[in-house]
């Protein structure tokens, strides 16, 4: 089973007639849903609001088969994100996070990752940066990594996370707690403007991860390991928007490695095999490509 920690967000996505269409999103939630839909046992660790949107989010997880043992229901409102889609299909966001359910993690009992039952802990996005959830998640991940692999997807949103220098400092600390990191080229450009992707990835590898995977939009993806660098082209698709494409890629990467049996601390040596990593990148790229053909998060 994969434990995914983080937020649910209601994305307000542009629709015809200058309208906004509310869709269920949030990086961690999208990843959990995508994994569960493909039959990978997955539980979301987080909170859900008590409003209409919160009930809609809860139904989404039921329909997808996401385990909700550690998904806490509250009376707080849901987090909102306004998506402004650019010409290249990517979206910029404005968020409403103050006082919402997704970051109210005080006093929460978080699951103990038993390696006999849990393959992986995955975390990232807003809940890994906004207090008080950020502090709770960091402490939990620091304990969990002693037992199971840990995956981190920063999903940088400076409009909600704050000053770039502080976000960069926190990102580097969380990278150091992780076994695998998936990050977009756009994320890196926000944190390290003017610095080459390969230089950042190699520096991150020295901090602790076994694998750093960078997605490059329509240029594909590249995985950095101490023993190899593996590139993968992106499939050609009819682009609608790229909302949720990064989450789809992450779910494919984690799902493939888990289902193939390589997501275990005693089998991480397989990540040094270029063929294994290429197969995982290929599958993840296919899922990301499909996500670009539908509006909003798939």
pLDDT at 241: 64
Q: How confident is the model at residue 104 (pLDDT cuts 50, 70, 90)?
A: confident
Q: What stretch of H or E contains 31?
A: helix 27-37
Pairing relationship of beta strands 120-124 and 91-96 according to DSSP bridges: unpaired
CATH architecture of the domain with residue range 2-291 = 3-Layer(aba) Sandwich (3.40)
Does position 105 have pLDDT exceeding 70, yes or no?
Answer: yes
Residue 57 burial (C-beta neighbours within 10 Å; 0-12, 13-18, 19+): buried
Cβ atoms of 258 and 119 closer than 8 Å: yes
Question: What local confidence, expressed as pLDDT, does residue 297 receive?
Answer: 64
Q: Per-residue pLDDT tens for 188-213?
A: 999 999 999 999 999 999 999 999 99
Mean pLDDT of the chain: 93
Nearest to 144 by CA among 4, 295, 285: 4
Lowest mean pLDDT among 3-17, 79-93, 129-143, 253-267: 79-93
pLDDT tier at 285, thresholds 50, 70, 90: very high
| pLDDT number for residue 89 | 58
Residue 239 pLDDT exceeds 70: no
Report pLDDT for 295.
Answer: 67
The answer to whether 222 touches 229, Cβ cutoff 8 Å, is: yes
């Amino acid at each position: 089973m994969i434990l995914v920690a983080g937020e649910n967000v209601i994305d307000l996505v542009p629709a015809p007639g200058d309208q906004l269409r509310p869709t269920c999103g949030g990086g961690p939630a999208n990843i959990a849903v995508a994994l569960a839909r493909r039959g990978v046992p997955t539980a979301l660790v987080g909170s859900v609001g008590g409003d209409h949107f919160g009930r809609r989010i809860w139904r989404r997880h039921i329909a997808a088969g996401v385990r909700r043992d550690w998904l806490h229901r509250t009376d707080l409102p849901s987090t909102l994100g306004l998506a402004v889609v650019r010409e290249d299909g990517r979206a910029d966001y404005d968020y409403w996070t103050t006082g919402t359910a997704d970051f109210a993690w005080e006093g929460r009992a978080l699951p103990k990752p038993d390696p006999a039952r849990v393959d992986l802990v995955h975390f990232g996005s807003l809940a890994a940066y906004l207090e008080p959830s950020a502090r709770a998640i960091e402490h939990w991940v620091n304990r969990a990594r002693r037992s199971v692999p840990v995956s981190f997807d920063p999903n940088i949103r400076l409009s909600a996370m704050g000053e770039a220098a502080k976000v960069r400092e926190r990102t580097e600390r969380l990278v150091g707690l992780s076994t695998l990191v998936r990050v977009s080229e756009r994320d890196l450009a926000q944190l390290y403007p003017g610095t080459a992707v390969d230089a950042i990835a190699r520096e991150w590898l020295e901090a602790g991860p076994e694998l750093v995977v960078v997605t490059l939009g329509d240029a594909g993806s590249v995985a950095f390991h101490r023993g190899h660098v593996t590139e993968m082209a992106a499939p050609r698709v009819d682009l609608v928007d790229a909302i949720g494409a990064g989450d789809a890629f992450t779910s494919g990467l984690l799902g493939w490695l888990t289902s193939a049996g390589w997501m275990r601390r005693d089998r991480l040596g397989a990540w040094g095999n270029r063929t294994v990593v290429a197969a995982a990148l290929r599958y993840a790229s296919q899922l990301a490509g499909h996500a670009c053909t539908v509006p909003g998060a798939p």
